Amino acid sequence: MRLTNPDAVIIGSGAGGGIAAKILAEGGMKVLLLERGDNHFVGLDRPQGIVTNRFGNDELKFQQRDFIYHSPRIDPRTFRNSEGEEAFFVGNVNALASTVGGGTIDYDAASPRIQQKHLRIKTLFGQLEGTSIEDWPISYDDLEPFFDEVEKTIGVQGEAGSNPFEEPRSSPYPMPPGYPKYSNVLLADAARRLGYHPYPTPAAINSVAYRGRPACANCGFCGGMGCAINAKGSTAVTAIRDALLTGNCELRPNSFVYHLKTNASGTRVESVEYIGPKGEKVVQQGGIFILACNAIESARLCLLSANNTHPTGLGNRSDMVGRNLMFHNIHTAIGVFPNRTHPYRGRNMSHSVDDFNLPHDPDDPNKVFGGGVVGLGGALHPIAFAKHLPLIGASHKSWMRESEFRDHIAALAIHGEDPPVLTNRVDLDPKVRDVYRFPVARITYKSHPNDQRVADYYRPKFEEIVWEAGAVTVLWVDEVQPTVVPQTKHIMGTLRMGTDPDRSVTDPYGRFHDVENLYCADGGLFVTSTGYNPTLTQQALAARQAHHILE
């Protein structure tokens, strides 16, 4: 099927784009899904089931050779800490997978729901100096039915009621929790003894056979890699497959969109221009257009699409396109144990703790803004371990066999809420261009001083848990450093939603204030970063938007 004038053109097939494609196609709209990267699935639209994929537990392919990423040598980003200075880094800056399924191919699939308090930070905690914090224009109740829908679509395991801080649910999780990881159990038991409340991490990984896909084999190669048996609920094998099976959706991989063309008045997008798999330039018309590239690339595309009616970038009358860029600041406590903990077996993160997720009384003078969910988990695979060892022949082999560190660790990490700051932003680099000769995204980002306060406040609490679990050594990894280029894979802000066109880019449904048929369905919509992994919230926002479009 080749669509010539589809009802909807979706740019990006990751978390939000995949969900939007499914709902719109099932609602009867003709949907074109454009993906910059490859399609690594054979038979994704086969009614009898997917034939295979090109993945496998190959650490070298995924983590060293950019198998599902564009090489930073030809498609880089640049990084600096403040406006007015030259970018000091050119390369990989928080890149997400560029492939059918996007970042849901290699994410660790943690899928928690946010809490109502994360959407009302300004009201509950007040303004933090040096930030642009606002309340979200929607509530948890607005999102709850879409959380429920997405969890059933992608398949999320979990145990309702196990987290005492969770919001109400309209139905239980589609699947029970899978087998716990031993290293995580050590930490969860210790946290419980100290009065905290660990619970099974909700994850888009099958604990049992679900919707034609098998249960997780607990191979341990989840985070950073694609699932060889399709047990991970990427949008590729769930929502996009559903969309294709309706007969209303066409998927075009290897299609790099570089421009959105509007009508003369600039009020509507008329077409997209993209480079196809053979290097050909294609102009594609459509009815509505949905940006789902990710918060960095969607902002970049708006800036690349500047014209006479939108001279500073499409939809950028408020000068907010690209601003309020947020990354979670991840702080990790690693325990080294006398016994083997087997951290490389099973799901990356099988337990979480919510006790540190904005727990403070706003009247407490010692408060810090922005705790976050604490994930118990992590793994160190053989090649990553070997890179840190001296290459000295027999001794190297002995270190690898014994794995005194790799097989003796357990870790916990907080996804610290990153407050929005106007000067943390995406714009176009004036000097560096990609392989197609378009300006690359320039990231200007500096951690707010509060981020270091968060790290300092929680460090003794996390180390106490690790010592309680029986560690003989505790290591602390702190990512709040100006010269550290963020690689969290949690990218939010840049196309903030809101009700005031002068202080936001889109309305509460993700439609651009100044372009009536252009929407955003990725993490760019986030007003604040929340204290949770962002993917499920991003998908719920996309589902809510798609139903609104249908209505």
Q: What is the pLDDT of residues 484-535, one digit of tens each?
A: 899 999 999 999 999 999 999 999 999 999 999 999 999 999 999 999 999 9
Assess if residue 3 is contained within a domain. Answer: no
Residues 6+ apart with CB under 8 A from 123: 135
Residue 211 CA to chain centroid, in angstroms? Answer: 24
Contact yes or no for 522/12 (Cβ under 8 A): yes
Helix H or strand E segment including 515: none
Supply the pLDDT for residue 172: 98
DSSP string, 414-450: EEE-----TTSEEEEEEEEE-TTSPEEEEEE----HH
Contact yes or no for 549/117 (Cβ under 8 A): no
Assess if residue 518 is contained within a domain. Answer: no
Give the integer Cα–Cα distance in Å for 62 and 75: 17
**pLDDT, tens only, 317-370:** 999 999 999 999 899 999 999 999 999 889 989 999 999 987 555 556 556 777
Identify the three-state secondary structure at position 342. coil
CATH number of the CATH domain containing 169: 3.50.50.60
Helix H or strand E segment including 22: helix 15-26
* Residue found under tokens 């066999």: 401
Helix H or strand E segment including 123: helix 121-125
Residue 476's φ and ψ, nearest 5 degrees, are -120, 125
- Whether the pTM exceeds 0.85: the reply is yes
Assess if residue 2 is contained within a domain. Answer: no
Residue 470 CA to chain centroid, in angstroms? Answer: 33
Give the integer Cα–Cα distance in Å for 151 and 141: 16
Supply the pLDDT for residue 454: 86
- In this structure, what DSSP letter does residue 128 have? P
For residue 416, the cross-strand partners are 329
Supply the pLDDT for residue 371: 86
Give the integer Cα–Cα distance in Å for 249 and 25: 6
Structural domain of 433: 8-511+523-550
39: its two tokens: 């399609």
**pLDDT, tens only, 457-469:** 899 999 999 999 9
Assess if residue 516 is contained within a domain. Answer: no
484: its two tokens: 């550290």
411: its two tokens: 């870790």
Computed over its alpha carbons, how large is the radius of gyration of the chain? 22
Assess if residue 517 is contained within a domain. Answer: no
Give the integer Cα–Cα distance in Å for 177 and 155: 12
CA distances from 141 to 167, 336, 373, 468 (A): 9, 42, 21, 38
> How many domains does one find in the chain?
1
Supply the pLDDT for residue 18: 98
Give the integer Cα–Cα distance in Å for 488 and 499: 29
Pairing of strands 518-520, 288-291: parallel
Supply the pLDDT for residue 99: 98
Give the integer Cα–Cα distance in Å for 260 and 7: 16
Pairing of strands 409-416, 329-336: antiparallel
**Under-70 pLDDT residues of the chain:** 359-367, 480
Assess if residue 236 is contained within a domain. Answer: yes
Q: How many CB atoms lie within 10 A of CB 88?
A: 11
Give the integer Cα–Cα distance in Å for 475 and 489: 23
Supply the pLDDT for residue 478: 82
Supply the pLDDT for residue 369: 76
Give the integer Cα–Cα distance in Å for 241 and 226: 16
Helix H or strand E segment including 461: helix 449-468
Supply the pLDDT for residue 136: 98
